[in-house]
Structure 1
């Protein structure tokens, strides 16, 4: 088994970027889901669930931590990384509330025009991140990802789903960070610990899937037949919802790097 693809999602619910390698830090993938648009009125997070055209928003993270934004009909915008204690704004993501730096008025105007709703762009520095779901360990945190730092999916699992649905489905519908080649379909369901290179991961919880999987990442349109959720519900319904993929927690950060092609060892 080996890593066949790596993805990073700098802005929550925007386009992902395919990467040949990924650097890991204390919050998972460096630069992954550290930015988020929130409702200007109540601070609640904004995603493709309500704004499916976010799938057409391209956000690229740069080495200085800033963000480059592009979207259909919009001018490109460079957003600087805000100071850690600059213009703190209260935000809500699921049941968590936190105060994080606001990226300023220019980014807010840009996002509001594209999304069609008044919003603000915010960034989460490491020391303001949330504890992961269940607080499994006092030093394990997550940025703006739904609940865990990373997501893994086996390519064979997607291939099996595609055969059941009867039409092609892009892996990016499921927004994984790591894709595994060489395992049996849904083999990742039974793993609890793996090692890739010098990094060990805990597979913390199977991932419950939502309506975002029905949005075509190329067009931003929702499938009229609610696929692949309709098919997944017929055989992947479990405790917590419709399950596909595994949430991961990485142990260690610093100079740790993942590269496409790295072998994967199942430890437990």
Structure 2
């Protein structure tokens, strides 16, 4: 089944894994997913591990925007670094990411020292192979209907929702649909077509404030937990036909 042109109410991605998820007016899709999404990551070279957002919530406070020569990093304190990037001589290496091997290329960049100081740990900037530091499918989707029902449940429990809930889920897109599309559904979005895969399992990242990185009592994990212990919210998707996604 194909749904034609459900309205896109929000688009976003993070250029560097774990940093602030930035709203976009449009996103280009190629065969691998959203172009630019999690192109970069930080690694703990001693542990041969990619840094995970849930373990390093201060990353959420940092904004990373692309430039012609690389990207510019800005902290909430107003400090910024215009970073040029260059592959180090080490070549492709395998670093652990949630128990699987992520192919990364370490970078010769001032950003490594910048992030090491900010996070108070020794980290190195790296460029990831497309999709290797994405936990599930390349595209994540939430719907306005599911978000509204979740917000109503939180409000009934006495929790005041102070910011848009879709920011918590860091989805590629929010679609104006009452219910999540079923697995196997194809969505015509402008000149792009994506196919829905499976419900997305969530982790404690959704209980972190998307602007401050602080853990807040949102009760989101509690509210989405099923009777068998799963934590699904939203759906994943893969690219069928490349194209451009635009708001509206």
Common fold: TM-score over 0.5: yes
Q: Secondary structure of the equivalent of 2:118?
A: helix
Gap change, CA 1:146 and 1:245, over 3 Å in 2: same
Q: Secondary structure of the equivalent of 1:122?
A: strand
> In the TM superposition, what is the alpha-carbon distance from 1:5 to its structure 2 partner?
1.2
Give the one of 200, 206, 231 matched to 1:207: 200
TM-score, length of structure 2 as denominator length: 0.86
TM-score, length of structure 1 as denominator length: 0.80
Indicate the residue corresponding to 2:213 in structure 1.
220
Gap change, CA 1:53 and 1:31, over 3 Å in 2: same
Indicate the residue corresponding to 2:82 in structure 1.
78
1:87 aligns with 2:90: yes
The answer to whether the 8 A contact 1:82-1:123 is kept is no
The answer to whether the 8 A contact 2:102-2:133 is kept is no
Indicate the residue corresponding to 1:32 in structure 2.
37
Root mean square deviation, CA, Å: 2.1
Gap change, CA 1:147 and 1:190, over 3 Å in 2: closer
CA distance in 2, matches of 1:202, 1:63: 32
Structure 1: give runs of 5+ residues left out of the alignment.
130-141, 262-268
The answer to whether the 8 A contact 1:208-1:244 is kept is yes
The answer to whether the 8 A contact 1:8-1:18 is kept is yes
How many aligned residue pairs are there?
Answer: 236
- Please identify, of 92-101 and 14-23, the stretch whose mean Cα deviation from structure 2 is larger: 92-101
1:118 aligns with 2:105: no
Gap change, CA 1:204 and 1:56, over 3 Å in 2: same
Indicate the residue corresponding to 2:54 in structure 1.
49
Q: Secondary structure of the equivalent of 2:115?
A: helix
CA distance in 1, matches of 2:227, 2:174: 22
> In the TM superposition, what is the alpha-carbon distance from 1:161 to its structure 2 partner?
0.3
1:156-175 C-alpha deviation (Å, 9 max, x unpaired)? 21111011011325311100
1:109 aligns with 2:113: yes
> In the TM superposition, what is the alpha-carbon distance from 1:63 to its structure 2 partner?
4.9
> In the TM superposition, what is the alpha-carbon distance from 1:237 to its structure 2 partner?
5.3
